[in-house]
């Protein structure tokens, strides 16, 4: 069901975020994210002279390479467009992410390493959908490994949303041994 019809309005700003996950031939995974901000009007910019309607105000990308355990092995950060010429100077700081694991506490670790003047707010914000894309990209691989190990480990995806609540019908069907609802 789409959103309800809006009140009369005028389009001003667009933020496009595109995230993609790739399986590499060497067994690692590349997760790429790009953020592009545009305006529907032309405006003056001190460093670029002006930014035309539809021209990128921000165009920034990240590539994070992870292993099967979601440990970050490599990072590349690029700033192709920004309102200030110095914005791209911070991209080397994203190497601080190497060695972190995408999982519980990841966002806090990112903010500690790259918050405030140590990073770019747009690139830091882009790491959240990038992390979600990493989970989605590796989900089936990680689930296959969990099942093959036969450790009895509870899948981490249980209780992460309404559909996957431990007492619900999907967990009862997919992981009956972890179902906590009626009939368990």
What is the distance between the alpha carbons of residues 21 and 2, in angstroms, rounded to a whole number? 27
- Same-domain status, 144 and 173: no
**Is residue 79, in this structure, part of any structural domain at all?**
yes
pLDDT of residue 184: 54
- Same-domain status, 141 and 166: no
What are the angstrom distances between the C-alpha of 93 and each of 67, 105, 113, 155? 21, 19, 8, 33
Residues 98-139: tens digit of each pLDDT: 999 999 899 999 999 999 899 999 999 999 999 999 999 998
Task: Give me the number of domains the chain comprises.
Answer: 2
| Exposure string for 25-43, b = 16+ CB within 10 A, e = fewer | eeeebbbbbbbbbbbeeee
pLDDT of residue 86: 96
- Same-domain status, 114 and 179: no
What is the distance between the alpha carbons of residues 137 and 20, in angstroms, rounded to a whole number? 8
Q: For the CA atoms of the chain, what is the radius of gyration? A: 21
This prediction has a pTM of 0.87
Residues 56-88: tens digit of each pLDDT: 999 999 999 999 999 999 999 999 999 999 999
- Same-domain status, 146 and 164: no
- Residue-range definition of the domain harbouring residue 89: 13-152
**Is residue 177, in this structure, part of any structural domain at all?**
yes
H helix runs in the chain, sequence order: 106-114, 121-149, 169-174
- Same-domain status, 183 and 167: yes
- Same-domain status, 165 and 79: no
- Same-domain status, 63 and 133: yes
- Same-domain status, 112 and 172: no
CATH number at residue 41: 3.30.390
């Amino acid at each position: 069901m789409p959103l309800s019809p809006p009140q009369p309005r005028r389009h001003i700003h667009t933020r496009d975020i595109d995230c993609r996950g790739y399986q590499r031939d060497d067994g690692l995974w590349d997760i790429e994210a790009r953020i592009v901000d545009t305006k529907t009007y032309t405006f003056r910019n001190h460093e670029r002279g002006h930014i035309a309607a539809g021209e990128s105000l921000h165009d920034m990308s990240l590539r994070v390479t992870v292993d099967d355990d979601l440990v970050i092995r490599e990072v590349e950060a690029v700033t192709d467009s920004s309102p200030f010429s110095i914005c791209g100077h911070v991209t080397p700081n994203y190497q601080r992410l190497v060695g972190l694991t995408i999982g519980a506490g990841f966002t806090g670790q990112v903010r500690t390493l790259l918050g405030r003047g140590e990073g770019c707010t747009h690139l830091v914000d882009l790491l959240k959908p990038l992390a979600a894309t990493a989970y989605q990209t590796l989900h089936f691989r990680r689930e296959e490994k969990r099942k093959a190990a036969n450790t009895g480990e509870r899948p981490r995806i249980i209780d992460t949303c309404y559909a996957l609540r431990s007492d619900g019908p999907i967990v009862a069907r997919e992981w009956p041994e972890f179902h906590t609802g009626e009939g368990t």
